[in-house]
């Protein structure tokens, strides 16, 4: 599909992803309009200082508000759904608030997109949605299911829904690297477990995968990038090798290793050069034709994708290089 000069709306658009997507979309997609839909007026004011060209629009609104979503989506071609409550402890303490935003809000986005004539919707997911053990992951798994299933009841509307799932975003707000950079001033870094691993992706690569999804989606795919893992102990050594490490234990709702494709999902997963695709549980199209079109292959019957069993790992020096490139250009040990 040709997406030159589209009208794009980003829910949760003032977040880390939304700002990076805006930067790249303005440069590469030449949007007729780019609408930032979010609920925080201060963040919108701050973002407007960076992005305030003739194509930019800012809508105050919440994905919990179905009427406001429908108004905001009038004339929109593409929706990127990035709004979510994502802090694990906050979701555990305020469970129904997470459900209202991450689940009911997802359905509001779907309904508004169908009613408004939107052509493509890409929803952002998380590795915590695979075999979830906390409420955040459970709500995002539910959201993923809603977006995939939306392709079944779109009726005569020419619209496609797909999902992009990836791991920890390097340098995003509330993530481990900014936290360690802040705490190293004290000379003590709290570490949950030396063995803990996580997937790592940069904001640029996350945006790149979303753009790829927009160009290639048939509807119902869950796109999963091939990305490296890191050990939490290596992150600590990369940031502050001389600090004292204080082992605090795994917190409620955390895993030792994260998954992006479970063994069950692996049965319906396809592999491509730079990513995997989990196909819809209720088939929407022929997987063989999809593989022929994009040059992939089926994953092995016992395939799964786990940060602890990954084949690509970031070293301490590679982590430092990435921190300088994507988090803090002035970073030094």
- What are the angstrom distances between the C-alpha of 61 and each of 40, 48, 181, 183? 8, 16, 33, 34
Question: Do the beta carbons of residue 12 and residue 83 sit within 8 Å?
Answer: yes
Task: Check: pTM over 0.85? Answer yes or no.
Answer: yes
Structure tokens at 332: 């030094």
295 φ/ψ sector (left φ>0, alpha ψ -120 to 50, else beta)? left
Strand, helix or coil for residue 112: helix
Report if residue 231 sits inside a domain: no
Residue 318 lies in a domain: no
Q: What is the pLDDT of residue 1?
A: 44
CA distance 246 to 252: 18
Q: Which residues pair with 80 in a beta bridge?
A: 10, 122
- 168 contacts: CB under 8 Å, gap ≥ 6: 127, 175, 176, 198, 199, 200, 201, 258
138: domain CATH number is 3.40.50.720
Q: Please name the residues in contact with 321: beta carbons below 8 A apart, sequence gap of 6 or more.
A: none
**Residue 329 within a domain:** no
Domain count, the chain: 1
Cβ contacts of 231 within 8 Å, gap of 6 or more: 194, 195, 196, 197, 313
Query: What is the residue-wise DSSP string for 171-229?
Result: T-TTSHHHHHHHHGGGTEEEES-TT-EEEEE-HHHHHHHHHHHHHH--SS-EEEE---E
Q: Is residue 276 part of a domain?
A: yes
3-state secondary structure of 291: helix
Tell me whether residue 128 is one of the annotated catalytic residues.
yes
pLDDT per 10-residue tile (average), the chain, 333 residues: 81 96 95 97 97 96 98 98 94 96 98 97 97 96 98 93 94 84 92 94 96 97 98 95 92 91 97 97 95 97 96 97 94 89
Residue 131 falls within a domain, yes or no? yes
Q: Could you tell me if residue 185 is inside a domain?
A: no
Q: Which residue has the tokens 């396809």?
A: 270
pLDDT of residue 253: 83
Asked if residue 135 lies in contact with residue 95, where contact means CB atoms within 8 angstroms, the answer is yes
Question: Angle, nearest 10°, between helix axes 16-28 and 41-50?
Answer: 30
> 3-class secondary structure for 120-179?
EEEEEEEHHHCCCCCHHHHHHHHHHHHHHHHHHCCCCCCCEEEEEEECEECCCCCCHHHH
The helix (H) or strand (E) run that includes residue 242 is: none
- Half-sphere CA count of 143, side-chain side, radius 13 A: 38
Which residue in 20, 43, 86, 128 is the catalytic one? Answer: 128
Q: What is the pLDDT of residue 155?
A: 86
* Structural contact between residues 20 and 65, judged by C-beta atoms closer than 8 angstroms: no
By residue range, what is the domain housing residue 277? 7-167+201-225+261-303
Q: Residue 293 to residues 159, 218, 290, 297, 322: CA-CA distances in angstroms? A: 20, 11, 5, 11, 34
Place of tokens 């900014």: 178
Asked whether residue 243 is assigned to any structural domain, the reply reads no
């Amino acid at each position: 599909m040709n997406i030159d000069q589209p009208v794009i709306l980003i829910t949760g658009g003032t977040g880390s992803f939304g700002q990076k997507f805006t930067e790249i979309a303005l440069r590469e997609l030449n949007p007729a309009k780019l609408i930032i839909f979010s609920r925080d007026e201060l963040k919108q004011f701050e973002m407007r200082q960076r992005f305030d060209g003739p194509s930019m629009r800012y809508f105050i609104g919440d994905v919990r508000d179905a009427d406001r979503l429908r108004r905001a989506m009038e004339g929109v071609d593409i929706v990127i759904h990035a709004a979510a409550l994502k802090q694990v402890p906050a979701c555990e303490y305020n469970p129904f608030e997470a459900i209202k935003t991450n689940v009911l809000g997802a359905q509001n986005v779907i309904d508004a997109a169908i009613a408004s004539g939107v052509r493509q919707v890409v929803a952002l997911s998380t590795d915590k949605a695979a075999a979830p053990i906390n409420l955040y992951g459970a709500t995002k798994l539910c959201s993923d299911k809603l977006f995939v299933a939306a392709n079944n009841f779109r009726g005569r509307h020419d619209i496609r829904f797909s999902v992009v799932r990836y791991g920890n975003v390097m340098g995003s707000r509330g993530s481990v690297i900014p936290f360690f950079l802040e705490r190293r001033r004290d000379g003590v870094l709290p570490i949950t477990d030396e063995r803990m691993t996580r997937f790592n992706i940069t904001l640029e690569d996350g945006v790149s995968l979303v753009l790829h999804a927009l160009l290639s989606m048939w509807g119902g795919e869950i796109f999963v990038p091939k990305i490296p893992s890191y050990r939490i102990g290596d992150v600590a050594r990369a940031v502050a090798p001389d600090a004292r490490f204080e082992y605090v234990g795994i917190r409620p709702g955390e895993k030792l290793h994260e998954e992006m494709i479970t063994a069950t999902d692996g049965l319906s997963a396809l592999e491509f050069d730079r990513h995997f695709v989990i196909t819809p549980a209720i088939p929407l199209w022929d997987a063989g034709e999809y593989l022929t079109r994009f040059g992939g292959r089926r994953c092995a019957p016992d395939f799964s994708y786990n940060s602890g069993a990954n084949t690509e790992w970031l070293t301490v020096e590679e982590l430092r290089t990435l921190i300088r490139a994507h988090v803090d250009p002035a970073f030094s040990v």
